[in-house]
Amino acid sequence: MIKRKIEELFFKVLMILATIIVTGSFFLIVGTIFSKGVPYMNLDMITKIPGGGFYIGKEGGVLNAIIGSLYIAGGATILGLIISIPVAIYINMYIDGKKFKSNLIRLAFDVLFGIPSIVYGAFGFLIMVYFGIRASLLGGIIAVTLLVIPILVRTLDEVIRTVPGELRDAALSLGATRWEAAKVILRQIRPGIFTAILLSFGRGIGDVASVLFTAGFSDNIPTSLHEPAATLPLAIFFQLGSPVEEVQGRAYASALILTIVVLIITVLAELLIKKFSKHKI
């Protein structure tokens, strides 16, 4: 009996320790980024572009990377939505009854979701070579769009599936076309669409491997789609290895900015999901 009690206690302690390590690692990461990044944070950092060459120049901030990130993540999310909303509606509204077919399509998107961003980056690079596009804002947007489509489709699909089937059936029985019924459902899932946008934007803004080949890097803010663009993760990746302390500092500050942005996005998405599931019938 005692042995069983001890065994029970032992494993309970082990489980609590494991939980502390797993959740604690979050604080460890955020704590490290904050303690390194805060000393380098100032107004210049978010309002100026780097001065005097990005690898050695000591002045300025990372405005180029902030704007570039917004352009790329924003552009990719918009493009991705234009493609994903019809796909999600198609899976749920047009091929009902044929479970095998819709499940096969879902499997394809699950698999696409699992493909690493470096492969999307390499593939995006192939597309660019094929069409003769140089590393640019456009190239970055194309690669990140490929990356976020599976996220958008999966999230939208999941949200549409929470809408009760009666709603669609009611619309259809009143003589609405499938597309009209789809519009009713789209209105119903508006917060879900917003969640999908946040998740896609969060993934797009944080990814390096997909933009490494495709976006190029520049100290300036891009003014057209064909100019190379910097992003925050690229700024971190390239500047971290610099021998100049100020440049390294820019990497730390960029890491801090990126972490804060991504945390806000994730928290917002979490809250939305919670709110959404509360209203669910």
Partner 1 sequence: MLVFTLASVSLVFVIGIGLYYRSIPILNKLSWFDLLTKSAWKPMKGLFGFYPFIMGTLWVTAIAIIIALPLSIFTSLYLVEYAHAKIKRVLIPFVNLLSGIPPVIYGVWGVLFIVPLIQEHIAPHFIEFSTGYSVLAGGIVLAVMIFPLIVSIITEVLTTIPQDLKDASLSIGATKWETIKKVIIRKATPGIIAATVLAISRAFGETIAVLMVCGNNAVVPHSVFDTGYPLPALIANNYGEMMSIPLYDSALMFAALLLFIIILLFNIISRVILARLERNLTT
**Could you write out the three-class secondary structure of 202-266?**
HHHHHCCHHHHCCCCCCCCCCCCCCCCCCCHHHHHHHHCCCCCHHHHHHHHHHHHHHHHHHHHHH
Binding flags for partner 1, 58-97, as an x/- string (CB under 8 A): -------------------------xx-xx-xxx--x---
Binding flags for partner 1, 132-171, as an x/- string (CB under 8 A): --------------x--x---x------------------
User: 3-class DSSP state for residue 280?
Assistant: coil
**Based on CB atoms, which residue is closest to partner 1, 66 or 223?**
66
Q: What is the distance between the alpha carbons of residues 67 and 80, in angstroms, rounded to a whole number?
A: 19
**Based on CB atoms, which residue is closest to partner 1, 4 or 279?**
4
Q: What is the distance between the alpha carbons of residues 202 and 212, in angstroms, rounded to a whole number?
A: 17
Which of left, alpha, beta for 132 (phi over 0: left; psi -120 to 50: alpha)?
left
Tally Cβ neighbours within 10 Å of residue 203: 22
Please state, in angstroms and as integers, the Cα–Cα distance from residue 201 to each residue in 76, 233, 264, following that order: 8, 14, 12
Give burial (CB, 10 Å; 0-12/13-18/19+) of 124.
buried
Determine contact, residues 208/233, Cβ cutoff 8 Å: yes
Binding flags for partner 1, 251-270, as an x/- string (CB under 8 A): xx--x--xx--xx-xxx--x
- With CB under 8 A, what is the number of residues at the site for partner 1? 78
| Residue 276 in contact with partner 1, rule: CB under 8 A | no
Single residue of 63, 163, 193, 208 touching partner 1 by CB under 8 A: 208
| Residue 230 in contact with partner 1, rule: CB under 8 A | no
**Based on CB atoms, which residue is closest to partner 1, 56 or 263?**
263
Applying CB under 8 A, which part among 42-50, 136-144, 207-215, 222-230 lies near partner 1? 207-215
Determine contact, residues 185/160, Cβ cutoff 8 Å: yes
Residues 107-126 close enough to bind partner 1 by CB under 8 A:
107-112, 114-123, 125-126
**Based on CB atoms, which residue is closest to partner 1, 12 or 98?**
12
Binding flags for partner 1, 28-57, as an x/- string (CB under 8 A): xx--xx--x---------------------
Residue type, 136: S
Binding flags for partner 1, 166-205, as an x/- string (CB under 8 A): ------------------------------------x--x
